[in-house]
C-alpha cells in the first residue's frame, strides 16, 4: 500500500470513529463540580455570620475641605452623614426647571440631585486660593490640561473623571479663585446617561 493511500485510510478510519462516537453520545466528558464552597450563597438558612463584612469606613483625603469625588458618587439617602459633615445642615430645597432635579442649599455649599444622585457640588472656598491649589482642597488630583479662561472663571472639561470643574475668580483675570463647581455630568447633555 502506498503512503498516500495509508494516510487517506487512516483519516477515513478516524472520521468513522468520530461519527460513531457522536451517534452514540460518546462526546467529551462533561466537567464535574466536585464540591461547592459552604459560604451560604446557596443555602438560605445559612447563619448571618457568613454574610460579607461591611466596607471599610470612609476617610476624607488629608487636606480636603470637601471631598467632591466622594460626594458625586453618593446617593443622598446613603450619604447623609457625610453630606452633613462636609457641607453642614440643610438650609433650603428648590425644584429645578426642565427635569434638572433639586438644588439643596447647605451651610457650606450647594448640591444638585437627580433621582437621589448628586451630580453637582458647588462650594465657596473658606479663603481665596490659587487655581492649582483648589483641586486638592476639593479632593481632586491636580489637573492635567489647561483651563478655558474667561475674565470671571476658569473651566476644566472632562478633567480627572469629572465632566466640568468651574473655578470662579476673585476678580476679573485674577489667579486666585473663591468658589468651585464640580459636575459629574450635565443633565440633558447626554439623555441616555441621565438614567
Residue extents of the structural domains in the chain: 68-183
CA triplet 160, 89, 166: central angle to 5 degrees?
A: 25
CA triplet 58, 66, 179: central angle to 5 degrees?
A: 165
Alpha-carbon distance of 18 to 25, in angstroms, equals: 10
SS3 48: helix
pLDDT tens, N- to C-terminus, the chain (195 residues):
555 555 666 666 565 555 555 555 555 555 444 443 444 444 445 444 444 556 678 888 888 889 999 999 888 878 888 889 999 999 999 999 988 899 999 999 999 999 889 999 999 999 999 988 999 998 988 888 889 999 899 999 988 788 999 999 999 888 899 999 999 988 877 555 444
Amino acid at each position: 500500500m502506498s503512503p498516500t493511500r495509508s494516510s487517506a485510510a487512516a483519516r477515513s478510519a478516524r472520521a468513522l470513529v468520530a461519527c460513531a462516537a457522536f451517534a452514540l453520545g460518546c462526546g467529551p466528558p462533561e466537567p464535574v463540580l466536585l464540591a461547592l464552597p459552604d459560604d451560604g450563597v446557596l443555602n438560605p438558612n445559612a447563619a448571618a455570620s457568613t454574610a460579607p463584612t461591611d466596607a471599610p469606613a470612609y476617610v476624607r483625603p488629608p487636606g480636603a475641605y470637601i471631598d467632591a469625588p466622594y460626594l458625586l458618587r453618593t446617593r443622598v439617602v446613603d450619604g447623609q452623614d457625610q453630606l452633613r459633615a462636609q457641607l453642614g445642615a440643610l438650609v433650603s430645597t428648590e425644584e429645578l426647571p426642565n427635569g434638572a432635579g433639586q438644588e439643596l442649599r447647605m451651610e457650606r455649599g450647594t448640591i444638585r440631585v437627580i433621582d437621589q444622585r448628586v451630580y453637582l457640588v458647588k462650594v465657596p472656598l473658606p479663603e481665596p486660593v490659587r487655581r492649582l491649589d483648589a483641586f486638592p482642597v476639593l479632593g481632586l488630583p491636580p489637573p492635567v490640561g489647561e483651563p478655558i479662561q474667561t475674565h470671571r472663571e476658569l473651566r476644566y472639561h472632562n478633567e480627572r473623571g469629572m465632566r466640568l470643574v468651574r473655578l470662579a475668580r476673585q476678580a476679573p483675570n485674577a489667579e486666585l479663585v473663591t468658589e468651585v463647581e464640580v459636575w459629574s455630568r450635565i443633565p440633558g447633555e447626554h439623555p441616555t446617561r441621565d438614567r
